[in-house]
Amino acid sequence: MITIGTPPRRYRLIRVGQLVFVAAVVVQLLACFVPVAALDTIAWPLRNGFSLAAGAFCVLRATLIRGERAPWAILGVGLLAYGTSTITFNLLRPVTPDGQQAISGSYCDIGWLAFYPACYAAVILLLRRRVLRLPHSVLLDVVVSAFGMAAVTTGVGVLLIRDSSALGPRDTMLMLAYPVADLFLLLLVVSVFALLGRHPGRVWWLLALGMIFFVVADSAYLVNAVQIGWFSPGGFDDVFWALSPLMLALAAWEREPRTRPARASGWAVLVVPTVLALAALGVLVAGATVRLNLASVVLSAATLIAALVRAAFTFAEVRRLAETKELASTDELTGLPNRRGLTERLRAAIENSPAGQRVALLVLDLDKFKLVNDTLGHRLGDEILTQAGRRIATALRPGDVLARLGGDEFAVLLERTDADGSRLVADRVRTALADPLDVGVLTYTATASIGMAVYPSHAANADELLARADIAMYAAKNRHTGVENYDPGHPDNPLFEFGLVEDLRAGISGDEIELHVQPKLNIATGQVRSAEALARWRHPDRGLLTPASFVPLAEHAGLMGALTMKVLEQSCAQLARWRADGMEVTLAVNISATDLLDQAFPDQVRGVLAAHGLCPEAIELELTETTVMLDRSRSAAVLSQLHEAGIGISIDDYGTGYSTLDYLGGDFPVDVIKLDQSFVRRLDSNTVAQKIVRHTVDLAHDLGLRVVAEGVESAATLALLEAFGCDFAQGYHVSPPVPADRFAELVERTPAGGAAVPSQPRGR
């Protein structure tokens, strides 16, 4: 039925016409098998109009639907010619009272035979859109098939003419034209399915059924014509002459789904020419016992010659295919296998390795080759790569596979080798490369970084093994160690970093981030009433991690905003508990550039403070001067909103940036500066550091700012800071970072004018 996807109202008549066509075919079938006079009376005119009706459907399809109009128009014209000849023949030679109809040649054969070239042309035009290109070998298949079919038909025709007494030679040869045309039609159907496969679509199935039904009907007609010389309408062959045009009419209005064009390849395309070539050979063999005419012998010989030519083309195509495959898997410069060639051999080695047998892969990269290549030029660079490949090959064992992956990267496949064996090979490769290479008038010494991975210890398949050997190679290059084995747990491993990022994401959303604090000593009063909030990550496998272990990871993964809010939430919750216990203390929370670039950050901070019932003065936000300078305008806007809300702003690592005095001039709202520990730790032994700290404290006080000195690790340093008038001291001499629940104890134990706890060794 119609599935073209056209408006239903416009094509309702087509749908009705198809239903009427189906009903007429059903009546014809009943008339053939049920001996009822009324049915036979109705079936007679229907029998004459099936081809005309199918032709009308095809012509309407070509007229009303865009696309593929030519094939359907040609097929429709062929069906109309066939139907017109059928009606003319029945009018000129009516059925005799005994139900027979004489068979002999007439002008009606012109219309009947015209159907076949129309059918061929339609199929070829429809096939042209589905097949990318027909190679010369497939065109030779057509020649072989045509010669073979002609040879077989001519040979069979000679036998039929010799045994037939009902028809003369002329009429018999005319009758043979139909099976020849039908065989070619059948050949076309088989070839279509060989090209398109088992799922060509409903259009092609309907077309194939229609053509096969024609072949069956013509074969039955031929038997009657040659053997008895007359035809009896209403028999078995009328069933197929009714079904055939119905299939073609339905195919015309069946929408073909959009599919990718197929390629004329595969063994299926050889089935038809092979069968017909063997049949032609059989005709020649039969000629030894049966006298054949010259045409049969010549056509059979031509079939075999064409088949031999086809075989020669096939041999040439296979050879070109092998050469192309070899070129596709070979590096043009060095002649070694390329990445594709290595991957194929690596997969084969893994698939063929017995259980428990290891396969090792080395990936090596020439150190600083890009600099040499850019300096000396690509010609000399190519010469270095060629010589390096030869040197590496001398260090390998028989059976080892050396490949060039691209650029200055090589790989070595080692079968039946574990990590220790691959290490020995890697050392031999580095030794082989150690001798200088003579490149033109220059001498170049090549060194290589080598990464190793072993199947199945490090990877489950070839792609993983190659990727992990590559990771190990970059680790060797970054660590300057020369050779590295793949280590999934090393922090430099990208896979480890990826897994750690996911762990951090889960830790921030869960309860793995813990709050620690480092007290700040008020130097003038000797009391601890403030501290810096520091995050610690209690990793389920790696234990307690300091910020240096995960803050850079959070910045790289875009998790700094979530981490800041987590620490701020914990800090405010802890402050609320302390203040409920009567401790009026403040906490400084570190923020990042991500927070300063977020226009919603001030509202988020105010919301957290309000949720815990805290005043803005309870917290202080610390940021580095480098962070401030990333985006001056947006940072100034965010900091101004925070400062206007009463939240203190502290600049950390003061003195290590590039625009310190610039933002102290009033562009940014700053309340506190923290002297970097690189100055503070040298106070008791460096007079220059003493002058810098003393004048910085004076400058800050003149600007109305408080000063915190971090990195205080001795009583002498603390005494100097007191003499310089510094406001606060922070460091291991005061106290190392401690869990938040221990801070209350430090506040209570603070001596008047001294450190919070005895001096402790450094370490975090």
Query: In the structure, what pLDDT confidence band is assigned to residue 719 with cuts at 50, 70 and 90?
Result: very high
Count, in order, helices (H) and strands (E) of the chain: 27, 19
Structure confidence at residue 723 (pLDDT):
94
DSSP 270: G
Mean pLDDT for 427-440 is 85
Using CA of residue 502, residue 503, residue 506, residue 508, what is the dihedral sign? negative
Structure confidence at residue 531 (pLDDT):
94
Using CA of residue 495, residue 500, residue 506, residue 508, what is the dihedral sign? negative
Query: In the structure, what pLDDT confidence band is assigned to residue 227 with cuts at 50, 70 and 90?
Result: low
List the beta bridge partners of residue 516: 534, 739
**In the chain, pLDDT over 90 holds for what percent of residues?**
21
Task: Judge whether 207 and 252 are in contact, CB under 8 Å.
Answer: no
Query: In the structure, what pLDDT confidence band is assigned to residue 499 with cuts at 50, 70 and 90?
Result: low
Tens-place pLDDT, residues 696-711: 999 999 989 999 999 9
Tens-place pLDDT, residues 639-690: 889 999 999 998 887 766 554 556 665 667 888 999 988 889 999 888 998 9
What is 690-759 written as a DSSP string? HHHHHHHHHHHHHTT-EEEEE---SHHHHHHHHHHT--EEESTTT---EEGGGHHHHHHH--TTS-SS--
Flag whether the pTM goes above 0.85.
no
The rounded mean pLDDT for the chain is: 78
Q: Which range among 42-46, 88-92, 228-232, 642-646 has the greatest average pLDDT?
A: 642-646
Query: Does the structure show a pLDDT above 90 at 575?
Result: yes
Structure confidence at residue 757 (pLDDT):
46
Task: Judge whether 369 and 408 are in contact, CB under 8 Å.
Answer: yes
Query: Does the structure show a pLDDT above 90 at 369?
Result: no
Strand 586-590 with 527-539, pairing = parallel
Task: Judge whether 341 and 403 are in contact, CB under 8 Å.
Answer: yes
- Residue 316, token pair as written in the block: 């040439």
Architecture of domain 339-488: 2-Layer Sandwich (3.30)
Structure confidence at residue 413 (pLDDT):
92
Query: In the structure, what pLDDT confidence band is assigned to residue 498 with cuts at 50, 70 and 90?
Result: low
Structure confidence at residue 241 (pLDDT):
77
Task: Judge whether 629 and 658 are in contact, CB under 8 Å.
Answer: yes
What is 28-57 written as a DSSP string? HHHHHHS--HHHHHHHHHHHHHHHHHHHHH
Structure confidence at residue 259 (pLDDT):
54
Task: Judge whether 402 and 412 are in contact, CB under 8 Å.
Answer: yes
Query: In the structure, what pLDDT confidence band is assigned to residue 368 with cuts at 50, 70 and 90?
Result: confident
Structure confidence at residue 25 (pLDDT):
81
Query: Does the structure show a pLDDT above 80 at 208?
Result: yes
Task: Judge whether 157 and 180 are in contact, CB under 8 Å.
Answer: no
Tens-place pLDDT, residues 532-563: 999 999 988 888 888 887 887 788 778 888 99
Architecture of domain 497-749: Alpha-Beta Barrel (3.20)
- Residue 693, token pair as written in the block: 């700290």
Query: In the structure, what pLDDT confidence band is assigned to residue 443 with cuts at 50, 70 and 90?
Result: confident
Q: Is 266 helix (H, G, I), strand (E, B) or coil?
A: coil
Query: Does the structure show a pLDDT above 60 at 491?
Result: no
Residue whose entry in the numeric block shows the structure tokens 């060509």: 200
Structure confidence at residue 603 (pLDDT):
93
Q: Give the torsion through C-alpha atoms of 501, 503, 507, 510, to 10 deg.
A: 130
Structure confidence at residue 468 (pLDDT):
87
**In the chain, pLDDT over 70 holds for what percent of residues?**
69
What are the residues whose beta carbons fall under 8 Å from the beta carbon of 531, sequence distance 6 or more?
517, 518, 519, 520, 585, 586, 587, 588, 743
Residue whose entry in the numeric block shows the structure tokens 């875009």: 558
